[in-house]
Amino acid sequence: MRTVSTSSNPPACETTADAPAGTRTRGDRAERRLRDTDRRIRDLDSRLDDLDTEHQSLKGKFGYTEDLDHELRRIRNDVSECESKIDNLEGGLSDRIGDTEQATKRLTQHVRLPEGQIMAPGGARAADLDTFGKDNERRSPEPSRRCSR
């Protein structure tokens, strides 16, 4: 806390005998300025004390705050690194998607070749190899039995 001491003895007033009544002399003006300055200093001192108290309160609430700029820069760097990793992963994923699409096209062509060969002789029944499974296997028909009487 700052304290300001002012002299309680004002400077001697200069009076002139021929000054009209109610006018201020230089000493009166100086004394008034001194009181105004003293009041302003006390107000500033009070504001400074209030700000110091508020600073201490905030410091207690938020802890050590001098390193916040460093922490903010560190967090921004971490975010930037994560964004670049995401960009790299997205690029790699796009490449893999393209490769998978090409492999799917090739496999589709490989399936169409046997389907075409099966259907070529003409006597074979059309089969969809994409959905053909064990339940759809063709069973050989049992020979019909003819009974003679």
* Domain regions of the chain by residue span: 26-63
pLDDT at 138 (0 to 100): 52
Encoded tokens for 75: 């967090």
Whole-angstrom distance, CA of residue 40 vs CA of residue 34: 10
Q: What is the mean pLDDT of residues 20-45?
A: 83
* pLDDT tens sequence across 128-140: 666 666 565 554 4
Percent of the chain at pLDDT exceeding 90: 34
Highest mean pLDDT among 22-26, 70-74, 93-97, 113-117: 93-97
* pLDDT tens sequence across 47-75: 999 999 998 888 777 766 667 788 889 99
pLDDT band at 118 (very low <50, low <70, confident <90, very high): confident
